[in-house]
Structure 1
Amino acid sequence: MKLSARNQFSGTVSKVTEGAVNGIVTIDVNGTPVSATISMAAIRELGLAAGKPAFAVIKATEVMVGLGAHLALSARNQFPGKVLSVEKGAVNSIVRMEVLGGNTLSATISNAAVEELGLAAGKEALAVIKATSVMVGID
């Protein structure tokens, strides 16, 4: 299957925390934990358990970019990295960052945010993603 989502990371499920309706699936991607909040029905249907290979899928529009090593936010996924490139459009830009042990992550943010944060190739930045914005897939 091919997806339009720019951010697709392969890893291994390291933990599944079950709840009444939703659960939290933690996927180890190159030594970095990626948390996803998904339904218990999906966890069962996909057979997710520790040790199972899985993919974390994140749309570029769901990635926030900030400055600093770690921000005081409720978002579970905060990945420090370096900006590789900024591709400016009429309103939005695609910011490509190196994170997660060398993986490339794309974020679609406004041109105003790019300017305000001074984002450019080589700048240290933080990719922030809510666990509810992470989809989980398997082969």
Structure 2
Amino acid sequence: MQLSTRNQLDGAVVSITRGEAMAVVRVRLTGGDEITSSITRDAVEDLRLTEGTRVKVLIKSTEVALGVE
């Protein structure tokens, strides 16, 4: 499958925290950094995500904000 999303990062699922409707999926990227994604519980099941599952993180955003104190 080809996608128009340019920010594509390879990684593996480290943990999945399920809530009532949503789940937080933590992914360790190839370089060692970690990123989280909030997706529906249905999506976790549909994608058959478990710890160790290899995934491609797709980032599409119109804004990236940073803050410091």
Normalised TM-score (structure 1): 0.45
Alpha carbon RMSD of aligned pairs, Å? 1.8
The question of 1:94 aligning with 2:24 is answered yes
Counterpart Cα distance in 2 of 1:91 and 1:131: 23
- Which structure: greater strand fraction? 1
Matched, 1:114 2:62: no
2:59 alignment counterpart: 129
Question: Offset of 1:94 from its aligned partner?
Answer: 0.2
Mapped partners of 2:39, 2:3: distance in 1:
18
Unaligned regions of 5+ residues in structure 2, if any?
A: none
Larger radius of gyration, structure 1 or 2?
A: 1
Q: CA deviation at 1:73?
A: 1.2
1:129 alignment partner AA: I
Counterpart position of 1:82 = 12
TM-score by length of 2: 0.86
Q: How many residues align?
A: 68
Report SS of the residue matched to 2:62. Answer: helix
Instruction: Report whether the alignment pairs 1:105 with 2:41.
Output: no
Please identify runs of 4+ aligned residues in structure 1 that moved more than 6 A: none
1:73-131 Cα offsets, whole Å, 9 max, x none, are: 11111111000000000000000000151111000000000001010111101110114
Q: Closer, same or farther in 2 for the Cα pair 1:116/1:132, shift >3 Å?
A: same
**DSSP 3-state at the match of 1:132:** coil
Which amino acid in 2 is paired with 1:124? R
The separation in 1 between residues aligned to 2:5 and 2:55, in whole angstroms, is 16
Q: 1:89 is aligned with what amino acid?
A: G
CA distance in 2, matches of 1:123, 1:102: 15
